[in-house]
């Protein structure tokens, strides 16, 4: 069966903010990837590696469940999935092999521009929309604040204007999206970058050798980018 294949399986985002950089990293490391756009699996021609191209949200689970050996994903998605799995008593083990130099962003609280905000206490009793309910809940708990969390998978930034929430907790990079929606960033609750992760319990000698061959190359590429 496919699950016993000894080829190293690496999960990356199929299309989105991490896919170009992930692919560039693999290419810089010498992987010759046969990418036919619509394919789920891309075979690496010159190494025993298969690249799985999936939604970024699926990557932590694929690695934590041991279906993929390695994955590149944002720490925001990884941490959210870990917190959720802890709550659900599911396995959430993995190893971070490398924090990468792309995919940087912050998860921030934002409120309408005209709103007064003086720290997390201002959120008491408010409704906050987010795609990251577990990360937000952890922050609110740390701050001793009680607020209602509304879980939205998209269009979080329009929630206040739509009357769905008083505030939002969303990813920010330039801040342009917040500004365009009449919001201001008031607190950073999590800073994220893309990371390369490995599943727990990887023992196949050939696969481990391959990883040991790749890591110095990744380090070299990152140093060259500095």
Residues that bind ligand PRT (CB under 6 A): 13, 16-18, 55-57, 74, 76-77, 103, 105, 170-177, 192
The residue (of 16 and 216) whose beta carbon lies closer to Zn ion is 16
Residue 130's binding partner, choosing from Zn ion, ligand PRT, none, with beta-carbon cut-off 5 to 8 A by kind? none
Residue 186 DSSP SS3: strand
Q: What angle do CA 92, 96, 100 make, to 5 degrees?
A: 130
Least distance to ligand PRT from the beta carbon of 139, Å?
Answer: 17
The residue (of 21 and 57) whose beta carbon lies closer to Zn ion is 57
Q: What angle do CA 52, 77, 23 make, to 5 degrees?
A: 35
Least distance to ligand PRT from the beta carbon of 65, Å?
Answer: 18
Residues facing residue 8 across a β-bridge: 49
Strands (E), 38-193: 41-43, 49-54, 70-74, 95-99, 105-112, 127-130, 148-151, 167-172, 183-192
DSSP state of 58: G
Site for Zn ion in 29-58 (CB under 5 A): 56-57
Give, for 197, the enclosing helix (H) or strand (E). strand 194-198
Least distance to Zn ion from the beta carbon of 35, Å?
Answer: 20
The residue (of 27 and 173) whose beta carbon lies closer to ligand PRT is 173
The residue (of 56 and 187) whose beta carbon lies closer to Zn ion is 56
Least distance to Zn ion from the beta carbon of 77, Å?
Answer: 7
Contacts with Zn ion by CB under 5 A lie at 56-57
């Amino acid at each position: 069966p496919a699950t016993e294949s000894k080829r190293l399986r690496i999960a990356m985002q199929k299309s989105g903010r991490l896919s170009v950089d992930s692919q560039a990293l693999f290419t810089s490391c010498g992987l010759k990837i046969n990418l036919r756009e619509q394919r789920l699996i891309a075979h690496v021609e010159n190494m025993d590696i298969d690249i799985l191209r999936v939604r970024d949200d699926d990557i932590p689970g694929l690695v934590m469940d041991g279906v993929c050996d390695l994955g590149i994903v944002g720490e925001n998605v990884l941490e959210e999935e870990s917190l959720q799995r802890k709550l659900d008593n599911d396995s959430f083990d993995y190893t971070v092999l490398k924090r990468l130099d792309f995919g940087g962003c912050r998860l921030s609280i934002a409120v309408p521009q005209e709103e007064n905000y003086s720290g997390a206490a201002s959120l008491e009793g408010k409704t906050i929309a987010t795609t990251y309910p577990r990360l937000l809940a952890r922050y609110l708990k740390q701050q001793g604040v009680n607020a209602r969390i509304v879980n939205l998978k998209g269009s979080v930034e329009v929630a206040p204007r739509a009357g769905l929430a008083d505030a939002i907790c969303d990813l920010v990079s330039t801040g342009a999206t917040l500004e365009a929606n009449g919001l201001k960033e008031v607190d950073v609750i999590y800073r994220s970058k893309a990371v390369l992760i490995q599943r727990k319990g990887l023992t196949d000698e050939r696969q481990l050798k391959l990883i040991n061959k790749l890591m110095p190359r990744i380090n070299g590429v990152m140093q060259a980018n500095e």
